[in-house]
Amino acid sequence: MAVPKKRRSKSKKRIKRSAWKAVAPEVTTCSNCGASIRTHTTCSHCGYYKGRQVIRVKSKTQG
């Protein structure tokens, strides 16, 4: 099993650890209905992607 030859100093460890960041997903608005969606995905509310209807979405009925 591989074992490091030398111990990593506190500063080097902290510099390496600082690169790990949580990134929020990119969000945009749907061009058809205006709902907020993730980029490069079909809108789950209306089924449109880049101005074209890609999927048919079942509408919720009250009753």
Both tokens of 19, joined, read 């690169």
Q: What is the pLDDT of residues 17-26, one digit of tens each?
A: 888 888 889 9
Would you state the pLDDT for residue 20? 83
Res 7: pLDDT: 93
Q: Count how many domains the chain has.
A: 1
The answer to whether residue 63 sits within a structural domain is no
DSSP state of 10: H
Q: What is the pLDDT of residue 60?
A: 67
pLDDT tens digits, 1-55: 889 899 999 999 999 988 888 888 999 999 889 999 999 999 999 999 998 999 8
- pLDDT grade for 62, boundaries at 50, 70 and 90: low
Tokens 């101005």 appear where?
51
Question: Do residues 53 and 47 make contact, with C-beta atoms less than 8 angstroms apart?
Answer: yes
In a domain, 20, yes or no: no
Residue 14 lies inside a defined structural domain of this protein: no
Residue type, 31: S
